[in-house]
Each structure stands twice: as C-alpha cells, then as structure tokens.
Structure 1
C-alpha cells in the first residue's frame, strides 16, 4: 500500500498494544478473578492464562510461525475461547468458521484460510481435508493434543499489521469471503471500549457466535480490560438469557435486533433484575426506532448502535440514550472515521443526497483472503488516492450529520424506473399490530421490471394476507405498492440475525 491509500492512524488512540499481551497482564493482576463462564464451567484468569500458554506453545512446537493460521468451528465454549487466545499469543491468525455452513463451504474456508489445524466440536460435518482435525473438548481431544506440547511459548512481538483473524462472510450473497482483520483494527476496538465502562468489574454477556465479528467487538474489549465473559448455552431463549444475566450481574451485552425483539416481547421481562447493566450494544442488522425506544424505556443502562461492516472502513455510532430524537438513524461517524456517499459512477455526493456509503478509518480489513479481485471490488478511491471500503448500503446524511440508511443497494427494488427502498415498506407494515416480523424483496415483473413482495410473520389476530396487503397499500405511494404479501412462520436468518433475502426471492412463486 502507498502512503495515500494505507489506513489512517486512528485519531486520539494511545500507542498500539497487542491484545495477547494485555490479557497476560490482566491474568497477573487478578489471578483468582473470574475470566470465562459457560454453562456450569468457570475459569479464573490464572488458569485461562496457563491454558492459553500451553496452546500457543503447542502450536509453535508443531512449526506454526507468526502469520500462519488455524481454523475453529463449533458452538461457543471455553475451549473455543482458549484456542482463539492461544493462537493469537503465538502470533497465529484465527479463522472462526460459521457453524451453519455446509460441508462444501467449510472445506473451501479451511482451504482458503490456509489453516494448519482445524479445531472442531461434534456439530461439524465430515468432509475431506488434509488439515488435521482436533476435537476441542476438555475431556479427551484437546488434552491429548496439548500433551505433546511445551507449557511455555516463545515470546512473540505482535505487530499491528499482522492478521488477527479471518472472518468469513455469511454467504448470503454468494460464496463466503475471508475478511482479514489486523491486530491494529482490534486494538482500535479495545481503545474505543474505554468510553463504555469496560474494566476489571465488567461482565459481558455473549449470546451470538464467536465466529461473528459482532461477538468479537464485545469480547475482546472486555477481556483486554480484565473483565469476565459469560457465554449463554445452546439456542437463544429469552428466559434463559434473562436468568443468566441476572445471576451473573451482567454489565454489558451485545445482541442483534431480532434478539432484542424477542427479549422485549417476552412476557416476564419486567420480573428480572437488570440494574447491573451499564451498556448494551447492537449491530449487524436494521434496528427499528420503535424497538430502540422500548429498550431505552425498560432496560437499565445505555444503548449504543454500531453501524459498519466486518470489512471495516467506517463506523457510525448512535448513543441512543443521548440522542432519543435520532433513533431512526445509525448515528454519526466515529471519531477518526471518514464516511462519504457516492453515486453509481463513483462520484462523491453532497450532504442531503442519497448514495452508497463508503468509509475509511484505522479499522479496515487488509483484504479478502487470497481474493485480490474481490478486494478491489470492495474498494473506492477518492481523487487524492485515499482508500475507502464500499458498504453496498444506500443512505443519506441529515443536517446534523446523522446517517439514515435506506437499504442495501442490491436490495433496492427498481420498478417502472422508480427506486423503491424495502425498508420504507417494512416500516409501514410494522405499524400494523398483527405484524411480528417482515421483510420486503423485489421479484421479477414483466410489466415493471421488478415488483415489491412482502413476507410477514403474523402476530395474534392477523387479517388475511390480502387484507393486510390492502391496508399497507392504502398507506404507500402509488409506485411503492406491494404486488403480493405472503405469511411465513419465521423469516430465514443467518447466525447473527440477518434476514436472508436471497432465500426469500428464490422461494417466491407467483
């Protein structure tokens, strides 16, 4: 990279510190304090640090050098967390792979990541791979592998541009791509966490997969500051989550919108003592203003929405507790983040215009693993040659500098030459009391090119699909009207709650 297109130094951040070094320091400062909790297992800082050392040393003994990689796939667990941290301490990049992927996809990810070992649990399907597969249970598989290794690793001076992890996209828009995130990007997240109350007395709830950037944005700032990470068990259930949060005296939570939606709709929500919470976070999918307002009203502590991409580039932050009149937005660009809007020809647009969101910051991916052409497609350069990451999202800045998102550019429906934003139609439908969940997609139309179709999850007392469509069309503009409306038991979603709109398009038959 040239000086012009290299990622800018994050504004106002202290000098780089490697997260593995910070975790070692925290273990020495509070050896007996809780570090990790999952189900009935608890691990103190001293024990965690010792196991992380053993994993790092074993990787080194097997010949792994800094910037090599390992892959992990399985449900959240303490061994999963230990392996992630052990890889980092050895200077090795970690590829946490999605549990919902097919065997064919996993084989491609293991191969594409360049992993030297593949750590799994019993949920991972069988497929042919030359990479050694290690079961990551504490009873048999992991101890047997560790017994062959030394107890203390050689010291590694981790550099900010080294790969920290390789996050694979969900595959909702095609073949999953490996997003390489450097240590410097993760350090920026830790430094930003100073503003949100992370410290030795923090307890962060984890209810999303460790394969997701959403989860890691919360986990690493907590551990780097000496707090405890408490992982939920099994599939997400509101009652189990609330019971665990109350018992653990949780201070921080990272949840995706569909989880907030389920929690706030749970009849017993108000019975739980959540007064220990300092801050709650949300990212990864559209978060409605109505739902934000409900969380603010009934759940103690602040609420922060992050808008950005796993690829990095630019992040917007909405501190909803400070800006209750801006809940329809995703906030302002974070300090040191340069976010702009461009048109279809790549020309920058002025404030007030609608365009694709592009961003530049110290938190940017290095690129897609072994996919230089895909990396180039994701980049935009300004006239000065500075590198930005394209989001594929369409938005508009208001007069106060807050960003309102319209939709994904690929999800925009072009009907009869008019641009229709599905989020506008979804907002109207959510205004009906019988709509529990909704997604609008564009489907082919001989007359109009594309037409909008709604898929709705009904609440109690729902009218017929035709009646609901008529109700919505009375409130929509002439060019926005729905061509069809279908009821579903549930919307198809990724592991982190994103609606899989491509599946909805593919399943639609007139």
Structure 2
C-alpha cells in the first residue's frame, strides 16, 4: 500500500450525507509520514505538554520521546532486527506507551497481549507470533513462568506497577506486593528490569530504521470463527490511515489547538485496538491521556474524573452505564466533557439517554474490528442515532448476501469493507485470510447489517457465533476446547446470553462424563484456564447436545432452547 491518496466511489449513498455534514470524504495521508515512526517524531512538537498521566504522575511529550528512544536503543542493542516480534503484556500504566513506542521505533513488530491471559493463552500467542522479547508486569510474571518457553523468547523485561511514579512508586510497589499481595511468587532467570532496560543504552545510540507504510507495525490477536487466536497484520499504513480518518470526525469538535491541555480519559486497556488507536489519535492532536489502570474501580475512576475533568471519553456501553448509575460520578460537574465515543460493543439506547441526561453529551457510536485497525464507521459528532454511523473517509462498505451479491438499501446482509485501514491479512494463515476476503478485496466482517438511504448502518445480527462480552470477543470453540479438557466433561456447547452488565455473557451447556461433576468444579477449571471475560457465567448440565447429521453441535438450537425458557 504505497498510495497516499484514497477515494470513495461517488455513487455511494453516504456521499451526499458527508457533504451535508461538512466532512471530507476522501483521504490523503500526510506527505511527511511514511511510517508510525514519522508520526512519533511529530509528537515531539508538543514539547513539555503532558502526554500521559497515571496515578497522579505525569510524563511530558518530551520525556515520552526521550524514554521511547532509550527503549528502542536498548532493543536494538540486543541484536533484534526489523520485523522481529516483541510482546507487551501490560495494563494501562506509563510503561505501556514508552514500551510500545520503543518497539515500533526500533523497527520491530508490536504484539499486544492481554495481561490477564492464562499461561495456556499466553503460550499460544507467544509461539504463534514468534516473539523474541517480552515486556511484562511482575503481577503476571508467574503466568509466563508456567509457559513452556523453548528459548524462542530470549529477552524478558519485567516492570513493577510503580516503576515510573517516582518516590510514590516505592510505596505503590510495597502496597501491591506486601499489603494487597497482588504479585504471586515468580522466577524468570536472566530477566531485566524495566528501569535497567530504560537506562542501559543512551538514546544517542538509537538507529532509525528504514520503514515503509507497507511494513507490519502490530500483530493484533483476534479469534475469528475457528476460535484459534490469529494475529491480524496491521501495517503502518493501516494505523496511520485510521488515525487520519478519525481526525476527520474528531477535529469537528476539537479544531486547531483545542485539544492542548485537555484530557482523554483512557479507561479501556491500551492493548485493545480501540483504545490503542485512540491513544495515537490523542497524541497526534496533543491531548493528555489519563491512564486508568483499573476501570472496574468506579470510585477511583470517579476521583480521576473529578480531578482531571476529561474532555474526551472513549468507552464501551457497560462502563458508560455503570458510571451513569454511580452516585459519586453523578455528583460531578461534567461541563468540560465534549466527546463521548462508544465502541467495542453496541451502545444501548437507554444507556445513551441516561448518559446524555447526566452529562449533556451524546455518545457518538462507531464500529470496527481488530482487522480494521479498528474503525470502519462512525456517527457524525453531536448526535446519537442508534446506528453505527457512516463509512469512514475512503472506506467502501457493501452489504452482501450469502452469494456475494449486493442487497438493496434497507435489506439485511453481511457488512463487507474495503479501505486503507483493512489489515494485510492474518499472520501465517493464508487460508484464514482467504476465508474473510471477497474476490474483489472486501473484508467480510461476519456481522449482519442494514444500510439506509443516507448511508447509515445498523447492525441487526452476527453471522459468527462470537459472543461479545464488554467489547471483548469470546469464541465458543476456544471455550469448548478448554472446558472439554476437564476429565469429568464429556462434551459441551457455548452460546452468548443477554447480560445487563456486559451486554452478553458466556453460557455453557455440559454433558457430564462423570456424574459427580459440580458447578464449582467447572468454575474452578475455567478460572485456571481462561481469562475472566471468557469464563462461563452460567452453567447448565444437559443430557444431550443438539447436533446435525454429521455430529456438529447446533448452537442455534441451544440459543432456541435458551430463548424458549426465557
């Protein structure tokens, strides 16, 4: 993808809507940006403005530039070369943006890892990505210790939560380790501390790599219909383009230098592609990012909102809803909040209404996937439509039937997209890539939608069996594979069921192999082998699973069984 100008076919129904909204429908990438590294270089113009704040400690854009160069120089000193993979397994702490930028600046490929992964999940991702180095928070070092690392991951950099917090960090680390006991015992031979990695090689040793827009910047893992986590290859062009596409909409609210001095409340984890790209957008526009390490602690989130009064808040429906019903949050002055951006899962109408009533701010809903870096559609600022919005600039979206034919406006079909933000493909999985691409180069999202005469799209169903828990994809095959490994489970089927807190929750139907199997045993097995959001919230023992003639478990029949009971 060497082209820098991307256009939209002028016969699409949303072209007129763009003109009415005063939005730019085509996209031209900046001449001086040929990779994310060029974008990072431009961050330096923000100088001593605050880049990131976490636990009341801030680093400036100047410091971010310096620290990330030091990490890049350190990684290069290890002999890592362009294209090598480096995994980063951290929550929202100051070390994440430093490590992320350092990895990319060194010419390496970033592999985002959920820090709550079990050793089973982590082992697959490290092996599949061929990661040669790993940044990890000590709270989860025991998880890596359990991984059967065959020497592929040669360098492990371990950080503590308080490493970048100055004197306060000493207290934070002591409380985390000895009072809250949040750091299980671990032993990783020859590891290096984050502080040592940061200070070992001077920034002046950094050698800027030769990169192009076509090079892979990030492997973003996602499940897909097979349930096996696959790395979506996101190029520098994919991410640069998606940031520029977001700018078209966001700059309508924050024009000129209006972002300077304003905070983005970053409660969604930066390893999630939605939050990751928003952070790049924020840094480009000169926002300050308020990193919220634990968004489940609503009292702490409320305290941060009260102190920093963010102007921009990207979140998922569950968090908007929880805060809108939190007494402390409701008592705050929200007059500085100018943009609430909903993604990751559908924004429910009652949540949007409650949020607007409380804050005076509409939730602007968008839609995307890991494979699309991630945003494909967004609503124009200042309106809640109950739909996922219009296709992004230079993004062509077709609604296709099962035979690949375009359906008339107002009829349902699969949402298929083509644009500069669409991934290069799945890492080492050409067969899986072929399954999700049409012969004309459109990415099949697996979601069923309807487009109206103005180009607005509404999702009506999902083609895949995927369960969406608080914006995170859960793939039934993966859960079933883990749970059937229990010696007392004969077979099982997994579906998603409605949940008022997370949108959907995982339900499992189990046929026992041993009659003594209990719910407690099932939950304990899930806790040991699955990340929290993948664990079944409800369990039902059943004598027989519905199956097709060839023995395939019929999840649609399980869903019908659940609906009939409801």
Which category describes the TM-score, using the shorter chain as reference length?
Answer: 0.7 to 0.9
Q: 2:336 aligns with which of 256, 271, 276?
A: 276
TM-score (norm 2): 0.69
CA-CA distance at 1:233 after TM superposition: 2.7
Aligned to 1:463: none
Q: 1:369 aligns with which of 420, 427, 436?
A: 427
Query: 1:24-72 CA distances to partner (integer Å, 9 max, x unpaired)?
Result: 3332x34322111111322122222111111111111222222222001
**Is 1:351 matched up with 2:439?**
no
SS of 1:48 mapped into structure 2: helix
SS of 1:95 mapped into structure 2: strand
SS of 1:123 mapped into structure 2: helix
The 10-residue stretch of structure 1 (50-59 or 31-40) with the greater mean CA deviation from structure 2: 31-40
CA-CA distance at 1:114 after TM superposition: 2.3
Residues in 2 aligned to 1:293 and 1:308: alpha-carbon distance in whole angstroms: 23
Q: How many corresponding residue pairs?
A: 431
CA-CA distance at 1:168 after TM superposition: 1.1
Q: 1:94 aligns with which of 105, 110, 128?
A: 110
**Is 1:136 matched up with 2:153?**
no
Contact kept in structure 2, 1:303 and 1:319, CA below 8 Å? no
Q: How does 1:443-454 map to 2 (within 5 A)?
A: none
**Is 1:115 matched up with 2:131?**
yes
SS of 1:201 mapped into structure 2: coil
Query: 1:298-325 CA distances to partner (integer Å, 9 max, x unpaired)?
Result: 2244532111111118712123623x4x
Q: How does 1:161-172 map to 2 (within 5 A)?
A: 161-169=214-222
The 10-residue stretch of structure 1 (178-187 or 239-248) with the greater mean CA deviation from structure 2: 239-248
Residues in 1 aligned to 2:224 and 2:332: alpha-carbon distance in whole angstroms: 37
CA-CA distance at 1:231 after TM superposition: 0.5
Contact kept in structure 2, 1:351 and 1:397, CA below 8 Å? yes
Aligned to 1:319: 380
Residues in 2 aligned to 1:205 and 1:57: alpha-carbon distance in whole angstroms: 30
Residues in 1 aligned to 2:418 and 2:225: alpha-carbon distance in whole angstroms: 24
Contact kept in structure 2, 1:296 and 1:321, CA below 8 Å? no
CA-CA distance at 1:149 after TM superposition: 2.5
CA-CA distance at 1:207 after TM superposition: 0.7
SS of 2:27 mapped into structure 1: coil
Go from structure 1 to structure 2 and tell me whether the alpha carbon gap of 1:288 and 1:62 turns closer, same or farther (over 3 Å shift): same
* Structure 2 gap ranges (5+): 9-25, 165-191, 469-475, 477-492, 502-525, 544-566
Residues in 2 aligned to 1:73 and 1:261: alpha-carbon distance in whole angstroms: 28
Residues in 1 aligned to 2:381 and 2:353: alpha-carbon distance in whole angstroms: 8
Go from structure 1 to structure 2 and tell me whether the alpha carbon gap of 1:505 and 1:394 turns closer, same or farther (over 3 Å shift): farther
Residues in 2 aligned to 1:305 and 1:48: alpha-carbon distance in whole angstroms: 31
Superposition CA RMSD, Å: 3.5
Aligned to 1:338: 396
Go from structure 1 to structure 2 and tell me whether the alpha carbon gap of 1:118 and 1:50 turns closer, same or farther (over 3 Å shift): same
Residues in 1 aligned to 2:380 and 2:202: alpha-carbon distance in whole angstroms: 46
SS of 1:268 mapped into structure 2: helix
Q: 1:73 aligns with which of 89, 104, 125?
A: 89
Aligned to 2:212: 159
Go from structure 1 to structure 2 and tell me whether the alpha carbon gap of 1:456 and 1:367 turns closer, same or farther (over 3 Å shift): closer
CA-CA distance at 1:157 after TM superposition: 4.1
